[in-house]
Structure 1
Amino acid sequence: MGSRRTVTAVGTGLTTVLVVSVAVIELLNVEFSALVGLPVGVLAGVVAFLSLWDSLDELSPFVRRVASAYATFGLTVVLLLALRYVNVARGTLSVEVIAGVAIAVAILTYLGLWLTDRAVSD
């Protein structure tokens, strides 16, 4: 459970940073909203990371699967943004495509973990 715990906690923190930062930046209707949104997102991400790192082993299998899928979303977004940054499929990787692929990967992660947990329990 060590590597899954690490990847899930880091991914959850990263996803929370992305979601909270973007939400705060979009909701604030001021010029330099990123100066508020980014620190708030980082703080929320650190809290999410520490909370999940501390309690992942005590969570139910359903919540662990959801947390892993949530973490996968953020990790996929960062990976695809990095590919876009280095000009790999820049024309194809729009924000909408990145979000859609990340959602699909998160759903597939949940389903894969569900099937794995189901096969182990049988």
Structure 2
Amino acid sequence: MNVRHALTALGAGLTTGLVVAVLVIELLDFEFSALIGLPVGVLAGLIVFATVAVAFDGLDEMERRAMSAYAAFGLTVIGFAALSYVNLARGLFSGTVAAGAGLIAAVLTYLGLWSRER
């Protein structure tokens, strides 16, 4: 396993964990829904992390690029959340900005890998 495989597995797990946790929290219409959503998101993220770590070598090139782009989204969002947490331009690094930057990072990652492999 090289660095790209490890970062892709980690990022895919983070992305899945974030998406599942937010969806469960938003879909449950009662107080303290995070007590259910966060553990479900962590469990889903761990499952995806293990699956990608094992199966990444068996994917074709297009699937690898797509998985790396998916992983880049989560890594970028977590990076922005960390910057916001340590109070570096807290007003600038909102959730909307982090999600937008994550989408941009995903597209740039896919295009960068696509151009490198051509």
- Name the counterpart of 1:32: 32
Q: What's the TM-score, normalizing by structure 1?
A: 0.93
Where does structure 1 differ by over 6 angstroms across 4 or more consecutive aligned residues? Answer: none
Structure 1: 5+ residue stretches without partners:
none
- Name the counterpart of 2:99: 99
- Name the counterpart of 2:13: 13
- Write the mapping of 1:101-120 to structure 2, written as runs, cut at 5 A: 101-118=101-118
**Paired amino acid for 2:65:** R
- Name the counterpart of 1:86: 86
Matched residue count: 118
1:36 Cα shift? Answer: 0.7
Residues 32-72 of structure 1 show CA distances to partners (whole Å, capped at 9, x for unaligned) of: 11111011111111110111111100101111001101111
- Name the counterpart of 2:76: 76
**Paired amino acid for 2:71:** A
Residues 1-28 of structure 1 show CA distances to partners (whole Å, capped at 9, x for unaligned) of: 6111101001111111101000000000
Identity %: 57
User: Aligned partners of 1:73, 1:114: CA distance in 2, in Å?
Assistant: 17
**Paired amino acid for 1:109:** T
Q: What's the TM-score, normalizing by structure 2?
A: 0.96
Rg larger for: 1
RMSD: 0.9
Structure 2: 5+ residue stretches without partners:
none
